[in-house]
Amino acid sequence: MTKKTMPYAIELRDISKRFGAVQANKDICLHVAKGTIHGIIGENGAGKSTLMSIIYGFYEADTGHIEVDGQRVDIRNSEGAIQAGIGMVHQHFMLVETFSVLENVMLGAEGGALLKNGIGAARIELQRLAQEYSLDIDVDAIVEDLPVGLQQRVEILKALYRGARILILDEPTGVLTPQEADHLFRILHALKEQGVTVLLITHKLREIMASTDNVSVMRQGEMVAHRETAHTTKEELAELMVGKKVRLTVNKDEANPSQVLLSAKHLSQFDSQGVKRLKDVSLELRAGEILGIAGVSGNGQSELLNVLSGITLMDEGEIDFAGQVINAKAPKDAAQMRDLKMAHVPEDRHKMGLVTGFEAYEAAILGYHNSDAYNGKVLMNRKAMLDECNTRMADWDVRPPNPHLKTANFSGGNQQKIVIAREVEQNPDVLLIGQPTRGVDIGAIENIHEQIVKLRDAGKAILLVSVELDEIMALSDRILVMFDGAVVGELDAKDADERTLGLMMANAFNEEQSGGQTASAEATGAHV
Partner 1 sequence: MSQAKVPAWVNMALIPMLNILLAFLVSGLLILAIGENPVEAAGYLIYGAFGYDEGVGYTLYYATNLIFTGLAVSVAFKGGLFNIGGEGQAYIGGLGVGLICLSLDHTMPFYVIAPLAIIGAAVFGAAWAYIPAYLQARRGSHIVITTIMFNFIASSLMVYLIVNWLKEDGRMAPNSRTFEENAWLPYLHEILSPLGIEIGDSPLNLAFIWALLCCVFVWGLVWHTRWGYQLRTLGTNPTAARYAGIDTAKVTIWAMLISGGLAGFVGLNEIMGVNHSLLLNFTAGYGFAGIAVALMGRNHPIGIILAAMLFGALYQGGAELAFEIPTITPEIVVVIQGLVILFSGALEHMFKDRIEGFFIRRAVA
Q: Do 149 and 176 touch, CB atoms closer than 8 A?
A: yes
Give CA–CA dist 90/109, Å, rounded.
Answer: 19
CB of 385 to partner 1, least distance (A): 10
CB of 301 to partner 1, least distance (A): 16
Q: Which of 9, 12, 24, 81 binds partner 1 (CB under 8 A)?
A: 24
DSSP string for 85-119: TEEEE-SS----TTSBHHHHHHTT---SSSHHHHH
Residue 309 near partner 1 by CB under 8 A = yes
Residues 201-240 that bind partner 1 (CB under 8 A): none
Q: Kindly determine how many residues on this chain lie close enough to bind partner 1 according to the rule CB under 8 A.
A: 45
What is the side-by-side order of every strand in the sheet holding 63-68?
22-33, 8-19, 63-68, 71-73
DSSP SS3 for 281: strand
Report the residue number, 179 or 375, with the smaller CB distance to partner 1. Answer: 375
SS3 content of the chain, % helix, strand, coil (to 5): 35, 25, 40
Report the residue number, 21 or 275, with the smaller CB distance to partner 1. Answer: 21
Q: Which of 241, 354, 464, 519 binds partner 1 (CB under 8 A)?
A: 354
Residue 384 backbone phi and psi in degrees, to 5: -60, -40
Residue 439 near partner 1 by CB under 8 A = no
CB of 438 to partner 1, least distance (A): 16
239: left (phi over 0), alpha (psi -120 to 50) or beta: alpha
Q: Which of 190, 225, 260, 366 binds partner 1 (CB under 8 A)?
A: 366
CB of 418 to partner 1, least distance (A): 13
Report the residue number, 46 or 143, with the smaller CB distance to partner 1. Answer: 46
Q: Which stretch binds partner 1 (CB under 8 A): 319-327, 349-357, 423-431, 496-504?
A: 349-357
Relative to beta strand 37-42, strand 214-219 is: parallel
| Buried b / exposed e along 91-124 (16+ C-beta atoms within 10 A) | eebebeeebbbbbbbbeeeeeeeeeeebeeebee
Give the ranges where 396-438 is alpha helix by DSSP (H): 412-424
Residue 19 near partner 1 by CB under 8 A = yes
Residues 129-168 that bind partner 1 (CB under 8 A): none
Residue 351 near partner 1 by CB under 8 A = yes
Torsion angle of the four alpha carbons 284, 290, 295, 296, in this order, in degrees rounded to the nearest 10: 140
Report the residue number, 375 or 447, with the smaller CB distance to partner 1. Answer: 375
What is the side-by-side order of every strand in the sheet holding 86-89?
86-89, 166-170, 197-202, 37-42, 214-219, 222-228
Q: Which of 57, 178, 346, 403 binds partner 1 (CB under 8 A)?
A: 346
Residue 18 near partner 1 by CB under 8 A = yes
CB of 17 to partner 1, least distance (A): 9
CB of 410 to partner 1, least distance (A): 7
CB of 442 to partner 1, least distance (A): 18
CB of 379 to partner 1, least distance (A): 5
Q: Which of 20, 274, 323, 515 binds partner 1 (CB under 8 A)?
A: 20
x/- map, 54-93, partner 1, by CB under 8 A: --------x-------------------------------
DSSP string for 180-207: HHHHHHHHHHHHHHTT-EEEEEES-HHH
Give CA–CA dist 434/475, Å, rounded.
Answer: 13
Give CA–CA dist 411/416, Å, rounded.
Answer: 9
DSSP SS3 for 403: coil
Residue 280 backbone phi and psi in degrees, to 5: 50, 55
Instruction: Tell me the CA distances in angstroms from 140 to 123, 128, 157, 187, 479, one per residue in order.
Output: 10, 15, 14, 21, 39
Residue 382 near partner 1 by CB under 8 A = yes
Report the residue number, 225 or 366, with the smaller CB distance to partner 1. Answer: 366
Q: Which of 227, 277, 344, 456 binds partner 1 (CB under 8 A)?
A: 344
Give CA–CA dist 207/230, Å, rounded.
Answer: 13
Give CA–CA dist 170/91, Å, rounded.
Answer: 5
CB of 344 to partner 1, least distance (A): 7
Residues 30-49 that bind partner 1 (CB under 8 A): 45, 47, 49
Q: Which of 362, 441, 446, 471 binds partner 1 (CB under 8 A)?
A: 362
CB of 403 to partner 1, least distance (A): 15
Give CA–CA dist 474/453, Å, rounded.
Answer: 11
| Buried b / exposed e along 146-176 (16+ C-beta atoms within 10 A) | bebbbbbbbbbbbbbbbebbbbbbbbbbbbb
Residue 311 near partner 1 by CB under 8 A = yes
Residues 318-337 that bind partner 1 (CB under 8 A): 333-337
Q: Which of 201, 352, 481, 488 binds partner 1 (CB under 8 A)?
A: 352
CB of 312 to partner 1, least distance (A): 8
CB of 450 to partner 1, least distance (A): 25
Report the residue number, 45 or 489, with the smaller CB distance to partner 1. Answer: 45
Report the residue number, 115 or 380, with the smaller CB distance to partner 1. Answer: 380
Q: Which of 310, 403, 413, 434 binds partner 1 (CB under 8 A)?
A: 310
Site residues for partner 1 per CB under 8 A: 18-22, 24, 45, 47, 49-50, 62, 309-311, 333-338, 344, 346, 351-358, 362, 366-367, 369-370, 374-375, 378-380, 382, 408-411
